[in-house]
Structure 1
Amino acid sequence: MNNNHKIGLTALTALVFSSMVGAGIFSLPQNMAEVAGVDAIILGWVITGTGILLLAGCFLHLSRLVPELDGGIYTYARAGFGDTPGFLSAWGYWLCATIGVVSYLVVAFAAIGSLTDTQNFVLFGDGNTLPAFAGESMILWIVHFLILRGVKQAALINLLATLAKSLPLIIFIGCAWWYFDPAKFTFDQTGQALNTPFIDQVKNTMLITLWVFTGVEGAIILSERAKNRHDIGKATCLGVIFALILYIAISLLSLGVMNRAEVASLPNPSMSGIMAFMTGVGGKILISIGLIISVLASYLSWIIYSAEVPCTAAEYGAFPKRFSKKNENGTSPAALMMTSLTVQICLFMVMFTGKGYNTLVLISTSMILVPYFLVAAFLVKLSFRIKTSLSVKSIGTGACLYGLWLIYAAGLDTLLLSAILYVPGLILFFYTQKSQHPETVKT
């Protein structure tokens, strides 16, 4: 690929950070307070922070141990466990990313609706009205043609949007620090009012915290486009650290501005309600604008990832070969079109069924469990095969345990939902394998 189309460390870090810090952070205070007390939230962040840093470590070491494997999510699973697990990883990740970007569009127009709608006039509602559908569709196809012009240009726009959306978050943290009341923070610290066992409170935070960290693999997905391969691991770790600091600060400081029960009763995006409590209507408008910029920037990141994974998998014969063909700007038109059409269909279903952000988050998160676990399992397998240091083996093993904990915490219903969504992918995979000659498949 032409070096002019490649991405540097700053833009890679911004892509990782922006893809993680999207819609979830603006609803995080209420989401956490609704299911857990302060003590369980703190333990949940300890587990999540450790697990995500271990997972980031897996991406860091794999990018250096097997630098020839571009694309990460698919190629790691395929190299470690074969074609079918590799495809399942690619399909699960693609669905996670694609459904995730639908949720970003929906919540962006819900935020616009919170500024424009009244009791007597509903224009955008929860992002599932006809006007919202029209606006979401317009943004979808604008971004589609932007990415066709090249990922580097899209990454630059994402960098600028990341800087713009970070300012309201920093202002919120500063205000929350100023208004923080230790008495509110320690009120019902164990969450007894929830009538939920402590371990269940911790488990209930897991899918929430996993959702806000999806995107940790962004630099790996775009590894082929990195100017310097050592930037891949650096961008991943830097993005995770920056996001982790923001998440912990916002979720915990909020519980010192309003007590847990008050935060839990707020409508989402709950950061707007907390900011309004501290500073009035002006603060609510600032956070709502920040949310709109944030989710649209994250949407741009995730569309790039969604189109990249089928393209990489097609190079190895897991997807039809037309998905591997790129234009002069290094973008796969077929993969991007499949992603955009899927988003368009999902937007229509959201309008038709009236479903909103939370439903989309559940579906999207359920699909990422298998891909993340396979990445960690591949590092463990590789580290023992080539006899790496104990620290590398420990990072892989720890990330595997975190992956198993997530699967346990997700529950049976979530696992069944993800299993159903893998079925269409398997049909596509076996059709592709049957229709292609073995000599055309990249080895």
Structure 2
Amino acid sequence: CFEPSVFAENFGGADYAGSLFDQVRGTMLATVFVFLGVEGASVYSRHAKRREDVGRATVLGFLSVFAVFASVTIVSYGILPMGEIAELRQPSMAGVLEAAVGTWGKVFVSAGLIVSVLGAYLAWTLMAAEVLFVAAKDDDMPRFLGRSSANDVPVPALLMTTALSQVVLVVTAFSDDAFNFALDLTSALSLIPFLLAAAFAVKIALRPREHGVAGASTRRELVVAAVATLYTAFLLYAAGLTFVLVSLILYAPATLLFVKARREQGRRLFSPREAVVCAVSVAGAVLGVVALAAGWIEL
């Protein structure tokens, strides 16, 4: 559910005095947050009967979310001034609709928000479990995460992701602004794997045969991968050091699962490049814990 006040706060809120970069940064992170989940079709691609359906679902999902994103923004600014929208309480769309049609509009949006949040929570819990399940099937996670029930439900992965989700929800309770904290943190958590995936796409485009890709890559594929890498790197920079360090605090312990998987397979724990990534993650996590303890950064 996109909040008009998030955009309004970043571009011209009544008391907003940030720089142009701060305005762009906040808006870009809000945009990342809005489009999180568009990759859901690829996460569940193993259930697709045809590979073409995965790409089609991803494009249609993106266009659908974009249509809602644009519609909500245009309608909101056609009803209230930007300054007033920036001062509305969450969910700000309830305040916008209340100004347009009366009290029932606020009640309607509030009820819809409850349904939306519950649906999003269910969807993201299942998506997170699917990621661990598929990784376990690819021998990148311990074998127990690759187990499923008779109904093809990855029960161990589902239990683990649900427990971790509860931990994150508890952490947000200690934030002064839980909504914006969750927005920035989830965006930063997603941007790190997005950056690595985009960089790997560049590597495949440059040397496709080394990675089992048939045929030679085209210039178009290389350009798309390079632009995605640069754009995601900028977004990660825009997220700020605080959320990058907090993300690494959450990511670093997951290395233990990777180590367990490698030991189960009797393989070398880390290749040279993997060792570098692990070292950066652990160093960032340690720095993040120290920074939080010393008060250098705040949630």
The equivalent residue for 2:221 is 392
SS of 1:205 mapped into structure 2: helix
Partner Cα separation in structure 2 for residue 307 and residue 330 of structure 1:
12
Specify whether residues 352 and 388 from structure 1 end up closer, same or farther in structure 2 by C-alpha distance, changes over 3 A only. Answer: closer
The equivalent residue for 1:176 is none
1:206 touches 1:410 (CA, 8 Å); kept in 2?
no
Among candidates 273, 280, 289, match of residue 95 of structure 2: 273
> Which letter maps to 1:241?
L
Specify whether residues 355 and 247 from structure 1 end up closer, same or farther in structure 2 by C-alpha distance, changes over 3 A only. Answer: closer
Partner Cα separation in structure 2 for residue 204 and residue 359 of structure 1:
12
> Which letter maps to 1:197?
S
RMSD over equivalenced CA pairs, Å = 2.4
The equivalent residue for 1:428 is 257
**Runs of at least 5 residues in structure 1 that lack an aligned partner in the other structure:** 1-22, 38-190
SS of 1:370 mapped into structure 2: helix
Q: How does 1:222-301 map to 2 (within 5 A)?
A: 222-301=44-123
The equivalent residue for 1:72 is none
> Which letter maps to 2:111?
I
SS of 2:106 mapped into structure 1: helix
Specify whether residues 196 and 358 from structure 1 end up closer, same or farther in structure 2 by C-alpha distance, changes over 3 A only. Answer: closer
Specify whether residues 307 and 276 from structure 1 end up closer, same or farther in structure 2 by C-alpha distance, changes over 3 A only. Answer: same
1:416 aligns with 2:245: yes
Specify whether residues 355 and 197 from structure 1 end up closer, same or farther in structure 2 by C-alpha distance, changes over 3 A only. Answer: closer
- Farther-moved stretch of structure 1 (373-382 vs 261-270): 373-382
Specify whether residues 347 and 203 from structure 1 end up closer, same or farther in structure 2 by C-alpha distance, changes over 3 A only. Answer: closer
Higher relative contact order (CA 8 A, sep 6+): 1
Q: Displacement, 1:244?
A: 0.9
Q: How does 1:71-82 map to 2 (within 5 A)?
A: none
Q: Displacement, 1:434?
A: 3.3
Q: Displacement, 1:249?
A: 2.3
1:33 aligns with 2:12: no
**Runs of at least 5 residues in structure 2 that lack an aligned partner in the other structure:** 209-215, 269-299
The equivalent residue for 2:201 is 379
Among candidates 201, 208, 230, match of residue 401 of structure 1: 230
Q: How does 1:323-338 map to 2 (within 5 A)?
A: 323-338=145-160
> Which letter maps to 2:11?
A
Partner Cα separation in structure 1 for residue 163 and residue 192 of structure 2:
25
What number of residue pairs does the alignment pair up? 261
1:310 aligns with 2:132: yes
The equivalent residue for 2:22 is 200
Q: Displacement, 1:376?
A: 1.8
2:172 touches 2:182 (CA, 8 Å); kept in 1?
no
Q: Displacement, 1:241?
A: 0.9
Q: Displacement, 1:435?
A: 4.8
Q: Displacement, 1:269?
A: 0.3
Q: Displacement, 1:338?
A: 0.9
> Which letter maps to 2:248?
A
Q: Displacement, 1:318?
A: 2.6
Specify whether residues 354 and 30 from structure 1 end up closer, same or farther in structure 2 by C-alpha distance, changes over 3 A only. Answer: closer
Q: Displacement, 1:340?
A: 2.0
Q: Displacement, 1:351?
A: 6.2
> Which letter maps to 1:282?
W
Q: Deviation digits for residues 385-437 of structure 1, max 9, x if unmatched?
A: 23322222222122112111101211121212212222211233224433542
Partner Cα separation in structure 1 for residue 167 and residue 236 of structure 2:
29
> Which letter maps to 2:98?
A
Among candidates 333, 339, 342, match of residue 161 of structure 2: 339
The equivalent residue for 1:81 is none
Specify whether residues 29 and 229 from structure 1 end up closer, same or farther in structure 2 by C-alpha distance, changes over 3 A only. Answer: same
Question: TM-score, normalization: structure 2?
Answer: 0.79
Question: TM-score, normalization: structure 1?
Answer: 0.55
> Which letter maps to 1:406?
L
Structure 1 runs, 4 residues or longer, greater than 6 Å off? 351-355
